[in-house]
Amino acid sequence: MTSLTHLNENGEAHMVDVGGKTETEREARAEAVVKMLPETLKMIVEGKHKKGDVFAVVRIAGIQAAKKCWDLIPLCHPLMLTSIKLHIEPIESASKVRIETVCKVAGKTGVEMEALTAASVAALTLYDMCKAVDKGMVIEQVRLLEKQGGKSGRWQVEG
């Protein structure tokens, strides 16, 4: 196992110096899954929510979150993201919504946190928009699916 990069030799938190790293194309994929009542999902899919197009707001929230990741997570570097995409998939048979995010950058540090932040905030926005009709919604998971680029190369979740 490698050591934690955000701690210095005295165990103090610090921002990693990436100045000497080579710029590479980097990409990360993450997902969030939100479980809800079947009636809630039906209302969203059919566009009958009083607040409007839920998935459009969720997508914009995820994009904004990725762009502001450095402002939310203390030791993240500000990145000039080249692409942020959200795919929102209603899974009616399981009464769930799956949100997949993909973030890209040509830079000196990875975009895993941006993809995870986008997925997290998108799921929270979905909850916020629908909490009046379904307070029991559950954000079941937020996880990294894949990252590529940089010194460590490619990593993908198993299964």
Per-residue pLDDT reduced to its tens digit, 4-22 = 566 667 766 666 666 667 8
pLDDT on residue 2: 58
Cα→Cα distances 106→9, 18, 21, 71, 109, Å = 29, 13, 12, 19, 9
pLDDT on residue 110: 87
Residue owning tokens 């009958």: 48
pLDDT on residue 9: 73
Domains in the chain (CATH in brackets) are 24-148 (3.30.70.640)
Among the listed residues 53, 71, 128, 134, the single catalytic one is: 128
Dihedral of alpha carbons 68, 96, 146, 14, sign: positive
Residues 27-49: pLDDT tens digits? 999 999 999 999 999 999 999 88
pLDDT on residue 20: 65
Residues 126-143: pLDDT tens digits? 999 999 999 999 999 999
Token readout for 97 is: 């919504």
- Confirm whether pTM is higher than 0.75: yes
Residues 63-115: pLDDT tens digits? 999 999 999 998 888 999 999 999 999 999 999 999 999 999 998 888 999 99
State the pLDDT confidence band at 1, using cuts at 50, 70 and 90. very low
Question: Could you give the CA distance from residue 56 to residue 88 in angstroms, rounded to a whole number?
Answer: 9
Check if 53 is active-site. no
Dihedral of alpha carbons 13, 15, 21, 25, sign: positive
